[in-house]
Structure 1
Amino acid sequence: MRKSILAFVLATAATIAGAQDSGLTSLETTDAGRSWLAVGRLDIDGTGFCTGALIAPDLVLTAAHCLYDKTTGQRIDPARIEFLAGWRRGRASAYRRVARAVHHPDYLYEGTVTADRVRNDLALLKLSQPIRNTTVIPFETGSHPMRGDAVQVVSYAHDRAEAPSLQRACAVMARQQGVLVMTCDVDFGASGSPVFSVSDSTPRIVSVVSAKAEVDGARVALGTSLDDTLTYLMGELDSRKRAANPTVPRVNRLSVSNRGSASGAKFVKP
Structure 2
Amino acid sequence: MRQWILAGLAALLPVAAAAQDSRLQRMDSLDAGRQWEAVGRLDVNGEGFCTGALIAPDLVLTAAHCLYDSRTKERIDPATIEFLAGWRNGRASAYRSVRRAVEHPSYVYDGELSTDRVRNDIALLQLQRPIRNTTVKPFETDERPRKGGSIGVVSYAHDRSEAPSLQEVCAVMARQQGVLVMSCDVDFGSSGAPVFSFEGDVPRIVSVVSAKAEVSGERVSLGSALAEELTLLQAQLTGVATGGRLPPGVGRVKVGEGRSSSGAKFISQ
TM-score of the pair, normalised by structure 2: 0.87
AA in 1 matched with 2:211: A
Count of aligned residue pairs for this structure pair: 245
Deviation at residue 46 of structure 1 after TM alignment: 0.4
Contact 1:59 1:126 in 2 (8 A): yes
Contact 1:178 1:225 in 2 (8 A): yes
CA distance in 2, matches of 1:191, 1:138: 19
CA distance in 1, matches of 2:10, 2:75: 33
CA distance in 2, matches of 1:254, 1:239: 9
* Higher mean C-alpha deviation, range 40-49 or range 229-238: 229-238
Contact 2:9 2:213 in 1 (8 A): no
Listed as ranges, the matches of 1:94-105 within 5 Å are 94-105=94-105
Counterpart position of 1:165: 165
Contact 2:142 2:227 in 1 (8 A): no
* Higher mean C-alpha deviation, range 154-163 or range 167-176: 167-176
Deviation at residue 254 of structure 1 after TM alignment: 5.5
CA distance in 2, matches of 1:229, 1:9: 21
Task: Confirm whether residue 86 of structure 1 aligns to residue 93 of structure 2.
Answer: no
CA distance in 1, matches of 2:35, 2:48: 25
Counterpart position of 2:109: 109
Contact 1:229 1:254 in 2 (8 A): no
CA distance in 2, matches of 1:7, 1:76: 32
Counterpart position of 1:266: none
Task: Confirm whether residue 122 of structure 1 aligns to residue 122 of structure 2.
Answer: yes
1:168-215 per-residue CA deviation (whole Å, 9 max, x = no partner) reads: 120101112110000000000000000000122310000000000011
Deviation at residue 231 of structure 1 after TM alignment: 0.8
Counterpart position of 1:74: 74
Deviation at residue 27 of structure 1 after TM alignment: 1.1
Task: Confirm whether residue 250 of structure 1 aligns to residue 246 of structure 2.
Answer: yes
CA distance in 1, matches of 2:15, 2:111: 28
Counterpart position of 2:15: 12
Q: Secondary structure at the match of 1:240?
A: helix
CA distance in 2, matches of 1:217, 1:151: 22
Contact 2:9 2:214 in 1 (8 A): no
Distance change in 2, residues 1:164/1:200 (3 Å): same
Counterpart position of 2:176: 176
AA in 2 matched with 1:195: V
Identity %: 65
Dislocated runs of 4+, deviation >4 Å: 5-9
Q: Secondary structure at the match of 1:83?
A: strand
Residue segments in structure 2 that go unaligned for 5+ positions in a row: 1-7, 252-261, 263-269
Contact 2:26 2:164 in 1 (8 A): yes
Distance change in 2, residues 1:252/1:29 (3 Å): same
Q: Secondary structure at the match of 2:156?
A: strand
CA distance in 2, matches of 1:187, 1:99: 28
Residue segments in structure 1 that go unaligned for 5+ positions in a row: 260-270
CA distance in 1, matches of 2:24, 2:186: 10
AA in 1 matched with 2:233: L
Deviation at residue 118 of structure 1 after TM alignment: 0.2
AA in 2 matched with 1:250: L
AA in 2 matched with 1:132: R
